[in-house]
Structure 1
Amino acid sequence: MGRTTDMGRDGGDHRQSGAAAGMTPARLPDAAWQHAEGLKKLLATLDDAHGGPRYVGGAVRDTLLGLSVSDIDIATALLPNVVMKRLQDAGIKAIPTGIEHGTVTAAVDGKSYEITTLRRDVATDGRRATVAFATDWQEDAARRDFTINALYADPKSGEVFDYFDGLSDLEARSLRFIGDANQRIAEDYLRILRYFRFLARYGGGQMDADAIQACANGAHGLTALSRERIAQELTRILALKDPVASVTLMIANGIFTPFLPELSASAANDLLRLVKREAQCAQPVSLAARFLALLTRDIVAVDKVAARLKLSNKMREGFAQRLRADAPTPANIRAIAYRADIDTARDAAMLYASDTELPECLARLEQWNVPTLSIKGGELIAMGLPAGPLVAKTLQAIEAAWIQEGFPDATRQRALAVEMVDAALPKKA
């Protein structure tokens, strides 16, 4: 959403709650985040005549599910410049992070809150939208992606406003686009990847075949998006606890084809194997390992992927280190860690070690600190080695022997140095 135009103000508030007529309206459960003093001050500052402000999106969804909440978004009928002035008058730091499309960030008591003016779409092109500011809550809800993300809650009463049956979908663990899925996707093709991310996190109920088909139909549109936006969403998918089912669906429906042709033929099985190993061995999620599970073991091809997706230099080098590592075994796993780092060695084991050797590989890395070779070039010269290239060559030989012997202590290191210097010196006639 790059361009925002105020095309006029709409009246009306469709105050539809999640409950059917005559039933008790749905209420937002109490949660600790609602009691922050800074948030209370902020909400009082934004009071208006259109039923706002209201919590919206993830904070409402996740609180209803009993999940922790980190980001709190607030919707308001107030225009962005009015929001800015009210915050400033109240002594709250106001940052115009996306003011051209209605978003202001408020910073209070060390926390940030996104405040966005109600909007309706005027035009879309698959990457961004031209919007008009409004006062109609249902219009604002109608431009959101999924029904479970279009839930609003009144901070005072806790009443939940549900315009598209998102509460039922939340209860059924069903992920549905608002309105026509093909249209929603054509408005912003990133919604394809968002669909599979939300499916991995909140799905589990009956699959929406129309939504899956719409994602497949629109996959070609992913080429219109910036690589950074694609990489961000793919990273979020892979970072979830268990993305295997979603990734498998993505593969089956050609979602990766436009931006990741290097996908391995065994990607789904390899990711499944890695995720199972993480659970069985109580290992943390490694994004680098999960990326590599999707790709062929071709260091050149993998680097092209990293460059195309504009991943960080640290991530690119991490890929290369993991792919350059020897086939991990209990005998060499510490050597891999020494030459790279513990994380690289752990990932190499998780990806490429055999089932029988994986537990011992991980055990040999557990609470092991990568040691340092204590022998320096000056000591070799003091032992009689002439200064020059021979010193570096002998140090390399000492290091190789030290690694081969399993990183023995300083006493053995010195003994190795004596042996290697003696072997390097010319023999007397």
Structure 2
Amino acid sequence: MMSAQKTSYAGNGTYPDSYYAASRNIVRNPKVLEGEVVADVAVLGAGYSGLSTAIHLAEKGYKVVIVEGANIGWGASGRNGGQVVNGLNASLDTITRRYGKEAGAFVGSLIQEGGKTIRRLVSQYDIQCDLKPGNVYAAYTAAHMKELEHKKALWKSHGMDDHQLLDKEMIRKLVNTDAYVGGMLDTTGGHLHPLNLALGEAAAFESLGGVIYEQSPAVRVNHEAEKPSIITAKGRVIANTVVLCGNAYLGHVVPKLVSRVMPVSTQMMATEPLGEERARALIPSDMCVEDVRYILDYFRLSADNRLIFGGGTVYGGTDAADVRAKLRPNLEKVFPQMKGVKIDYAWNGNFALSFSRVPQMGRIGKNTYFAHGYSGHGVTGSHLFGKILSEVISGADSSRFDQFAKLPWIPFPGGRMFRAQYSTIGSWWYQFKDAFGL
């Protein structure tokens, strides 16, 4: 294997010690970018946004090259909760209020498309990622239930009638806990092994003739040139079009994008294998679950019957010092019968937060595009945005890109220096509301 190139943000570019890395079903032999390469399209970042963009363009016959600073899915795409949750972080109400009815109707028409795109890729390319159906939103309070009732009615008004409200007895049949007063079932949601999805998508892209350079961190992007380029320590890719998909790990490579998003760390852990009987006693439905608090918990069962449990945030992207200590009380609150359960894996990972909680897509320079800021809802959103980017780049349809690109972005108050502190203070208010059921 070629020796790993040192990176500024990812050590030697190898995966963190997560359950997903330990259970990945594809082990790659990374190819480092050396010398000059020419392509129709160069994509920076081999997470879901980059892979979705690249696959959709390769399917149209484009010569596409991906440049990745670490390994495939090293960032959020290979560390997340594996939950296929429809929608954006910002609600349709919020989008309509801020940007108008046309924007609300537009977003409402496509928020299930990301999940459909994932299912299409998994089926068409036979990606082995343990895809399972069903997503449960869990409510701790009567106020939470009112939120879900409103959400169900709102989504139905946009043509989505795939949701069922659950009372305490009904949700207990799906998730065996007394913690919740009710919830809502989304039958079009689901869950999967996120790193195996990314690795399977990389293999699908390569089967279409695509080329991926890993462990090749970008040091600069020339986005002002007629033919933009991605420059690494050992080479560069020159293309007709460049697509920036670094998200929370793009760093300062493209200064124009630094202030648009903030990295936020979230934490996850995986228990020891519980055995099928014990696992199904926890989640009889085998669906994924997330509560509706501002700083939420989310969990599901893995294919080998572990409980994968996540939650918590650290603004600014700093890793939690002790993930087990931080998450175990939350896990045991939901499932007291899991008190003292052995935790085999615990890890951190960053997602990119936009101040508006609406992901951003746009263009800098004449032929350089970007997508980022999924704000914790990136599994489906990134696949959708990759598809939309392929539409505008190929000239097939620019209307959906234009709709997102024209949405105004809001800088974080306090600027780059104080944005994390500002966001932390703001989160305290929402935690107060959650704690008192407001």
How does the TM-score come out when normalised to structure 1? 0.20
Query: Going by fraction, where is helix more abundant, 1 or 2?
Result: 1
Normalised TM-score (structure 2): 0.20
Larger Rg: 1
The structure that is strand-richer by fraction is 2
Bigger relative contact order, structure 1 or 2, given CA contacts below 8 A and separation 6+? Answer: 2
